[in-house]
Each structure stands twice: as structure tokens, then as C-alpha cells.
Amino acid sequence: MNYKALSSALLVVLSTGLSANVTANEKPFSIAIHGGAGTISKANLTAEQQKAYREKLQEAVDAGYDVLAKGGDSLVAIKTSINILENSPLFNAGVGAVYTFDGAHELDASIMDGKTMNAGAVAGVKHIKNPIDLAITVMEKSPHVMLSGQGAEEFALTQGYQLVPANHFDTDSRYQQLKSAKEKIQKAESNPDYQASIGSSSHHNYQQSALDYSEFDYKFGTVGAVALDQNGNLAAGTSTGGMTAKRFGRIGDSPVIGAGTYAENGVCAVSATGHGEYFIRYHVAGDICAKVKYQNKSIIQAADEVINQRLITAGGTGGVIAIDHRGNIATPFNTEGMYRATRKNNEPAQVMIWSDL
């Protein structure tokens, strides 16, 4: 199945009349959220599971939309939506966070305010119930952009946060994913070809032959939101439990400003989900906004070019939600599916999983 073609076709459909219902006297506002991209097979997702995902996405997008509809700030709308997703075991963020190789949880999050260009991020935290909240606090209450690990949690205590026990994030489904992932890793590492690549003196051969995590379907998850409020302020936020069976304190794109999260008033806001290493290397969120800002491309075209051309050519998989200063929304992805929902002023929400909704 040509997922790229289906995704691109959907973008064209969704872009038609994006601002048609916004009159001259109305101020556009809109929100988009995502709950991760990856191999989301219709055959493997039961009707009950699909219903649960759609209901939670609906709840989250409606909650953020209600903030905007009442004249609230885009940052508040994003926090409201992401908190709902972080508090659900359905998504790889907050309570649904995946396990590291050692059976722990390490969570990342970031936020960016398009009005001030200020940003905050946390990486590798283990006892923060809602990492997006701490990212906002880092942005608003510290002179820094990113704090990590124990230091981030020490800062949280100075700001009145209560740490939660590590087992707060435990779920059986994620533990089963860890067991499956470790079996695949151990099998791959016992392969003579893999061992030979480790012992090779050629750095190039090592890079090409060593264990390729992209072969395993346990790297996706992540939640995020982008919003435009009635004052024209854009914002973006992303939160994740990382990659199942990750080791050595690995950090992906979610807390990296410009890679997993970016926002600038008058341009666009982006939140990403996918194989983080590629999103970091290709500066995905920032690249999309740069195309809008400097090449005068629509948010639909810019996001599609990065996700379905540049990124996929490089071997990177995933997707983004993106919104421009007029409230137009793009949700391209180059995987089988991406949990997502959008809502614009005076319009009902759209809740989608696959290219055909």
C-alpha cells in the first residue's frame, strides 16, 4: 500500500476550504493534536480499541478547543489537551510511557511560545506525572530551555511539584512490548553478521551493519498539540515516553526545539512524532516553518515536502501536526497510521487514525 500517496491525497482534501467558514469579522482559531504515528494496522486494532482511541482523541481536542473558543491562550489549550493524553494509558506519554531496556521510564517533553519565541523542555525525567507541565515551568520560571534527569526533578521540587513513584507509569501492555523488543534485540545482537560489524575497524561499515532499531515496531508513540488562539498566538508542545528498550539515556526529538517542537507567530507551529533520530538530524519542525517563512509555501505543501519527500527519502518515518497563522492545518505522515484530531472555529472535530480517516 502506498501510504505516502494516501497521506498526500488526504492533505489535499483537508486543505480544501480550510478557511472558508471564517468570516471577515471572526478571528481564526484552531487546534490539532496527535497521539503517535507508526504501524497502526486496522487488522490488529479491534473495534473496542479503535473506539477507545477515538474517544480519548475527541476528549483531548475538544478540551483544548474549548479554551480557545473562550478566548484562552494557545499555551493553555496545548497544556489542557496534552495533559489528557499524558493521563491516558493509551499513549506513549505520562502514565502510558514505554519501558527502557532496564525496565524503567524516562520521559521527555517540550513547549514553545510563538509570541515570545521562548521555549522549555525536560528530558529523562522519571517522577514527573505530567512532563509538559514541567516543560512550561522551565520556560516560564527558569533562564534555561532544557533541563534533564535528576536536575530537572530538583528544579521541579523548588517549584512545588510533587514527585510520583516510578511505578506510576507501569502498564502491563507496555511491559509486554518491552519483553518482545528485548527478545528481538538479543536475537539481532547474537547474529554473527552483527557481531562482525561491531568488530570491524571501518566506522562506515559499523554504521551500516550495526543493529538498526528502525526494523522494530516499538519506537513510535508520543503525544503533541499545536494551536492558534484568537489573539493570533501560535504554540506547540510535545510529550513522550521515548523508545521502548532504549539504553544509555537515549533522548529523541520530542524535547529538542526545532526537531520535535517549534512555533513562531505569523509563521507556523509544529509537533512531531516518529523515529526521533531522523527528526533531529533533519530539523523537521524548524524546516517546515522555514519553508513557510522563507519560501512562502503553504503549511500543507511545506509539511508534505518534509515528511513525504525529504524525510522518507532519508529513511525516516513518522509524521507531524502543523498549523499556520490563519488556522490552516496539515497532518502528514509516512507510516501506516497516525492518531490525530483537529478542530477549527465553528466546525466539528475531525478524529483520524489512517489516511482514509
**Annotated active-site positions, please?**
222
Residue type (1 letter), 44: N
- How many CB atoms are closer than 10 A to CB 66? 14
Residue 62 CA to its chain's centroid (Å) = 18
**Structure-derived torsion over alpha carbons of residues 68, 96, 270, 159, reported in degrees to the nearest 10:** 70
| Host H or E run for residue 30 | strand 30-38
Query: At which residue does the C-alpha cell 507501569 appear?
Result: 170
The residue written with cell numbers 561499515 in the block is 205
**Cβ proximity of 323 and 338 under 8 Å:** no
d(CA 147, CA 158): 14
| Listed residue (114, 113, 94) closest to 105, CA to CA | 94
Q: Which three cell numbers stand for residue 228?
A: 492558534
Other residues' Cβ atoms within 10 Å of the Cβ of residue 170: 15
